[in-house]
Amino acid sequence: MRKRVPLALAWFGLLVAIVSRPAIADPQDFPQIERGRYLAVLSDCASCHTVPGSNQQFSGGRSIETPFGNIVAPNITPDAETGIGTWSDDQFEAAVRKGIRRDGSRLYPAMPYNAYTKMSRDDVLAIRAYLNTLTPVRNAVVANTLPFPFNIRAAMRAWDALYFTEGEYRPEPNQSTEWNRGAFLVTGPGHCGACHTPKTFLGGDKTDQFLRGSYLQGWSALDITNDSRLGLGRWSKEDIVAYLRSGHNRITAATAPMSEVIALSTSHMTDPDLNAIATYLKSLPGKNDGTAQLAANAPPMVAGAAIYRDQCSACHGLDGKGVAELFPSLAESSLVRSDDPTTAIRIVLRGARSVGTDAQPTAPGMPSYGRQLDDAEIAAVLTYVRNNSANTASAVTADQVAKVRHDTATRPD
């Protein structure tokens, strides 16, 4: 004969079972999902994990160029077989904040975990909550396409020992709340140093040259410190905010890889966050070195002035000041004055189109002069604009133009 369990004891057992059951994230936790969506915007996840023009968001497959070969961004949709649908929270956090793959091997720093580590575990799990709401996409991606010996992931242990410091961002007590928010955004989710900080021959950041400009993927990323010649020293906070919000300001317009960052990330940030970024960047000292201005009667300057009047002045003006919010001011452009003229050369050779955003939907373009002007002529006109008005910069040579011309001929963009 079966014994009957007292009702009070049954209720007690049920209560214990409920309390001891593992917690399951609420799929309808809308505040966490929205927080994760915004953190994904701040982290610019879409730029790498979505193929441009694809309607399969975050499904991976985009090839990321590095000096050592190409790495393909993985699928981060919640697909169970080819995405992150069966990953645990610990596995996801380890990948994002520690650079450790699900199988325990190391990620390559094309994934900027050395910046994302400054986010908290809660931040990262909020991003995971948002990604879990996406439509799963079946897209098997082979991420490691590096040649030997760079395809050996074990070598990343040495790289991490040299260049990776794990840990959340810690506010500077002597700085304002706004400054600290900006520092967190720039050094953490925004991972600005991935492009704008010079790299060692192993691909690690040169920390003593933080945000002073670098070369990547056929472009020269600019100095974004407060340097008055090469960086943002001639920009106001309002100029920085306008640029990040709309892709345009009174001085310049965003093109090339930065246009994608603005379209997918900064143009969707809140005004307080944009102001915080501007406050932080304006606080960073540049190297503030000087360079002699070329004489106006130097042969490259004379030739360049003539080409400029014929080909450039209609949009940029005889004085080089352009049209605010439309055609960049060459007279005030730090891109023009950059120590590395690669981007300026590339734009003249191939042309460029500025980014269109909700704030500035018009996206003016510059035509290509690669067929119309030879290497010496492009070198002359760039030398002229780099040393006209208040600009001072080294002369551009025909050999430099030829090198960029050859490089861009092999690129589809």
Write out pLDDT tens, residues 135-156.
999 998 877 777 767 677 778 8
Alpha-carbon torsion angle 330, 334, 336, 338, nearest 10: 170
Confidence label for 133 from pLDDT (cuts 50, 70 and 90): very high
Paired tokens of 348:
């003249």
Q: Please check whether residue 235 is in contact with residue 251, taking contact to mean a CB–CB distance below 8 angstroms.
A: yes
CA distance 260 to 47: 7
pLDDT the model gives residue 154: 76
Residue 7 has pLDDT above 70, yes or no: no
The share of the chain scoring above pLDDT 70, in percent, equals 92
For 180-238, list the strands marked E by DSSP: 214-216, 219-221
Confidence label for 308 from pLDDT (cuts 50, 70 and 90): very high
Confidence label for 28 from pLDDT (cuts 50, 70 and 90): low
- Rounded to an integer, the average pLDDT of 36-51 is 95
Q: Which residue blocks in 55-176 are alpha helix, DSSP H?
A: 89-98, 113-116, 121-131, 156-163
Residue 391 has pLDDT above 60, yes or no: yes
Q: CA nearest 222: which of 246, 251, 202?
A: 251
pLDDT the model gives residue 390: 78
**pLDDT of 72-106, one tens digit each?**
899 999 999 999 999 999 999 999 999 999 989 89
Residue 66 has pLDDT above 90, yes or no: no
What's the pTM value of the predicted model, to 2 decimals? 0.88
Q: What are phi and psi of 72, to 5 degrees?
A: -100, 130
pLDDT the model gives residue 5: 40
pLDDT the model gives residue 295: 86
Strand partners for 215: 220
Query: Integer distance in angstroms from the first to the last C-alpha of the chain?
Result: 81
Radius of gyration of the chain (CA): 25
pLDDT the model gives residue 26: 56
Domains of the chain (ranges; CATH) run: 30-163 (no CATH), 191-282 (no CATH), 299-409 (1.10.760.10)
Q: CA nearest 112: which of 192, 34, 40, 42?
A: 192
Give the torsion sign (CA, 193, 195, 200, 203): positive
pLDDT the model gives residue 413: 63
CA distances from 35 to 98, 131, 134, 407 (A): 21, 11, 15, 41
Q: Which of 6-10, 248-252, 368-372 has the lowest mean pLDDT?
A: 6-10
Q: Please check whether residue 164 is in contact with residue 113, taking contact to mean a CB–CB distance below 8 angstroms.
A: yes
Give the torsion sign (CA, 82, 111, 36, 42): negative
Paired tokens of 393:
């910069």
pLDDT the model gives residue 69: 83
Look-up: residue for tokens 């050592």?
68
The share of the chain scoring above pLDDT 90, in percent, equals 65
Q: CA nearest 350: which of 388, 386, 378?
A: 378
CA distance 88 to 96: 13
- Rounded to an integer, the average pLDDT of 264-277 is 97
Confidence label for 63 from pLDDT (cuts 50, 70 and 90): confident
Average pLDDT for the chain:
88
